Amino acid sequence: MRRLNGPRAYAAVFAYKCAVTGTMFQLHARPNSMPEARLGVVISKRVLDKAVARNYCKRLMREVFRAESSSLSGTDIVARPRQPVTRANAAAARAELSRLLREACRRCARPKQAHTASPARS
Distance of CA 90 to the CA centre of its chain: 18
Does residue 81 contact residue 42 with C-beta atoms inside 8 Å?
A: no
The closest of 50, 38, 34 to 85, measured between CA atoms, is 50
Where are the chain's structural domains? 2-107
Please give the chain's pLDDT, 122 residues, in tens: 688 888 999 999 999 988 999 999 999 999 988 888 899 999 999 999 999 999 999 999 999 999 988 888 888 999 999 999 989 999 999 999 999 999 988 888 765 444 445 555 54
Does the predicted TM-score (pTM) go above 0.75? Answer: yes
Does residue 37 contact residue 75 with C-beta atoms inside 8 Å?
A: yes
Helix (H) or strand (E) holding 96: helix 90-107
* CATH number for the segment(s) 2-107: 3.30.230.10
